[in-house]
Amino acid sequence: MRLFEVVSQIENDRKTVLLVGHNPGLEELLQLLTGKIEQMPTGGLAKVALKAAKWANALQKKASLESFVKPRELERV
């Protein structure tokens, strides 16, 4: 999967990253990392906590889905 290739090449000194993309890639990456199946609508946000020390090892230890927000759940400002 191409998105996992991108994740695995992130420099290890980066503790926080933001991935922006579209489906089906983001849903597949979320499932690979967390084991959870979520339908990501346009504008959906997922916060994932990765427990591996190196980005290249992201699949060896399951990450956890900390939060998942759909656009309709956001307040209008």
What per-residue confidence (pLDDT) applies to 21?
Answer: 86
DSSP H/E element including 65: strand 64-69
Could you tell me which of 60, 66, 46, 67 has the C-alpha nearest to residue 4?
60
Contact yes or no for 48/64 (Cβ under 8 A): yes
Which positions ≥6 away from 1 have C-beta within 8 Å? 25, 28, 29, 32
Model pTM score: 0.81
d(CA 45, CA 26) in angstroms, rounded, equals 10
pLDDT in tens, the chain (77 residues): 788 899 999 999 998 999 988 888 999 999 999 988 989 999 999 999 988 888 988 887 678 999 999 998 887 76
- The tokens describing 53, both together, are 């020390």
